[in-house]
Each structure stands twice: as C-alpha cells, then as structure tokens.
Structure 1
C-alpha cells in the first residue's frame, strides 16, 4: 500500500494557489456567488458580491436569476469604474 504498483501514473505534486496580501484598500478583491432561496420550490436568485479583503467592505453586488460568466464580468467592470481602478495597472 505504500509503494507504487503497476502501470498507473505516479502521484502528481499539487501546485499551491497563489497567495495575495492586501496591504491597503482596493488592492485585493474577492468575489462569490450565493444562492438565495425564494418562496417557490426550486427557484433561486443568485447574489453576486465583490468584497475588498483589506477593509472587508462590500465593493459591489447584484442579484440575478441566472449564473453566467458575462454577468460576473459586467459586475467586475462596474466595480472597477465605480472605484476608478485601471485594469492594466499592476500595483
């Protein structure tokens, strides 16, 4: 059980995710989609939220009935315009 057997591939090393440190406001944002219950069984709304990690402030949010990448992209664009961030600027 402790040794590699047969023609199977050896275990792969997993690359750890990149870690970001928020040393000021509007440096690192995180986003999430949460499903909100309704009174109708099987019907949910999706709450898209962007949070500033440093201040824990909700930067932008929106509720939609579907979960689509284009809607998330619009939310991020609107948050960047609202907070006057340049998408090509690297800090």
Structure 2
C-alpha cells in the first residue's frame, strides 16, 4: 500500500522536476531560469513533505521550514533586485 502511494506521488513530482530542469537549462531569459529554480525548490518541499506524510514521522519538519524560508527569501530578493533597475 505504501509503495503504491509513494509511486503515485513520486512519478508526477519527478516529471514536474524534469520539466523544470529543462526550463532551467533552456530558459531564454534569466527570469525564466529563476522561476524554474523556484519551481524545483517547491517540488523539493513537496517531496519531503510527502515522504514525511507517507512514513508518518515529523523529523523532517525543520528541513521543510528551512527550505520554505529559503524559497521565500530567494523570491523576495530576486523581485527586489530585478525590479530596482533604473533606465
């Protein structure tokens, strides 16, 4: 039962990560690459959260908190510095 649930979660997350990696490599603009990196970080948070839920343990909660804060701070700093360009 756990194997079926793990596969049902792992396959879509892996496909989404593959698409994000393709966009990260082929992105025509820097902002496309940044968005792809943010998507990869979000997929990592989803994968770690799904693993914790499937195995029913809470030892990875600090990892989830750090990854979430990293994504938030990264997004805010990117928006801050990309929008501050003066002509």
> Could you state the TM-score of these two structures normalised by the residue count of structure 1?
0.29
Q: Which has the higher strand share?
A: 1
Higher-Rg structure is 1
Is the helix fraction higher in 1 or 2?
2
Higher relative contact order (CA 8 A, sep 6+): 2
Give the TM-score normalised by structure 2: 0.30
